[in-house]
Amino acid sequence: MSRFALRRALLPVLLLGLVAACAQPAPSPTGSGNIEVATGGARFSTADAATAALGADVGPGVFPRTVTHARGTTRLEARPTRVVVLDTGELDDVLALGVTPVGLASPDGKVPPYLEPKVGGATRLGTLDPLNLEAVAALKPDLILGSQLRVDQLYDRLTAIAPTVLSIRPGFPWKENLRLAAAALGEEQKAVDLLNAYQGRADEVRAALASDPPTISLVRFMPGRLRLYGNLSFIGVILHDVGLPRPPVQDIDELATEISEERIDQAAGDRIFYSSYGDPQTTGKDAVVNGDLWSRIPAVQGGRAQEVDDSVWFLGLGPTGANLVLADLTRLLG
């Protein structure tokens, strides 16, 4: 088993390990039998994984429940109906699970365009730094969803407002994060259905590309940063699921590696997909892609470098975004 596959397989165990001191053993669910989730091209039976791995102490859909998460345990007396989400991944998750949040915030205060039509009249709470806690409280939520990486320092203040459930981090554990959100919402079966549908589509893409899968390079221009994305990223997981290889410099068990503009030759691959995040005046993308070094990369010379939607490929972080990436891969590599 590769290091990447091993870390992916152990993530639910690591999640429990972080909170073992305050978690109670989870009994087998009292729901409707085994739940099966496809992962990495295979299905596995989870007679109690939907509850034990993500910490709910009762069967799918049963309330009251206690959910184990990155900051401990949270008691939910009834199925939440007024949910506040604190990142784009949680927003994608709850919408995919059939719940429209009453409020939402994100690192840059924006809603990904692909989700904008679905959020309706949800209150925009702006950025996470600083997060407007008074506005959160005014919405009278009965559940707050976020990640330890983003809002750990606010956890005590958030729990004073409403029951709060935090994942460890956004990004590559997007499947586990979906299941954690589902555990908090009592929508375990919907999460399983979403993951199995995603894996079915990923398997179709894998089969279509099996004869000659191209090496995929991922480049992201950001203010003050130029990144090549690795395996432990949202898009890295998707490429792994469809069996697309990576250039050696990007075939790493890390989120990304940062390079200087002078080393853009390290972005070489059979196909290059690139995007830009932030103010176009500060990302440096135009200077690089119109420069001499970029033009010398064989994939660029062959017309095999294409810009993709940053809000989907790098900020999607949920099942809807993942399926849009699969659709893009089918179109761009077909």
Per-residue pLDDT tens digits for 293-322: 999 999 999 999 999 999 999 999 999 999
Q: Is the pLDDT of residue 92 over 60?
A: yes
Nearest to 92 by CA among 326, 324, 331: 324
**Range 44-58 average pLDDT:** 50
Tell me what the pLDDT averaged over the chain comes to.
Answer: 87
Angle at 184 (CA atoms; ends 178, 188), nearest 5 degrees: 60
Which of 37-51, 67-81, 91-105, 140-154 shows the lowest per-residue confidence on average (mean pLDDT)? Answer: 37-51
Ranges of each domain in the chain: 3-197, 212-333
pLDDT, average across residues 106-131: 96
The predicted pLDDT at position 14 comes to 41
Residue 19 DSSP code? T
Whether residue 24 is predicted with pLDDT greater than 60 in this model: the reply is no
Q: Which fold has domain 3-197?
A: Rossmann fold (3.40.50)
Q: Which two tokens stand for residue 283?
A: 């990302």
- pLDDT of 1 > 80? The answer is no
pLDDT at residue 21, as a whole number: 30
Closest CA to 178 of 31, 58, 83, 54: 54
Give tens-digit pLDDT for 159-196: 999 999 999 999 999 999 999 999 999 999 999 999 99
Q: What pLDDT score was predicted for residue 55? A: 60
Spatial contact of 300 and 292, defined as CB atoms under 8 Å apart: no
208: left (phi over 0), alpha (psi -120 to 50) or beta: alpha
Q: Does residue 158 surpass a pLDDT of 50?
A: yes
User: Right CATH number for 212-333 from 3.10.20.30, 3.40.50.1980, 3.30.870.10, 3.30.300.30?
Assistant: 3.40.50.1980
What's the rounded mean pLDDT across residues 93-117?
97
Q: Are 145 and 136 in contact (CB under 8 A)?
A: no
Tell me the two tokens of residue 132: 């407007």
pLDDT of 25 > 50? The answer is no
Pairing of strands 123-127, 103-106: parallel
Taking 90 as the threshold, does the pLDDT of residue 94 lie above it? yes
Identify the pLDDT of residue 287.
Answer: 95
Instruction: Output the pTM of the full model.
Output: 0.86
pLDDT at 43: 42
Contact predicate 59/51, CB 8 Å: yes
Token pair for residue 246? 């990576």
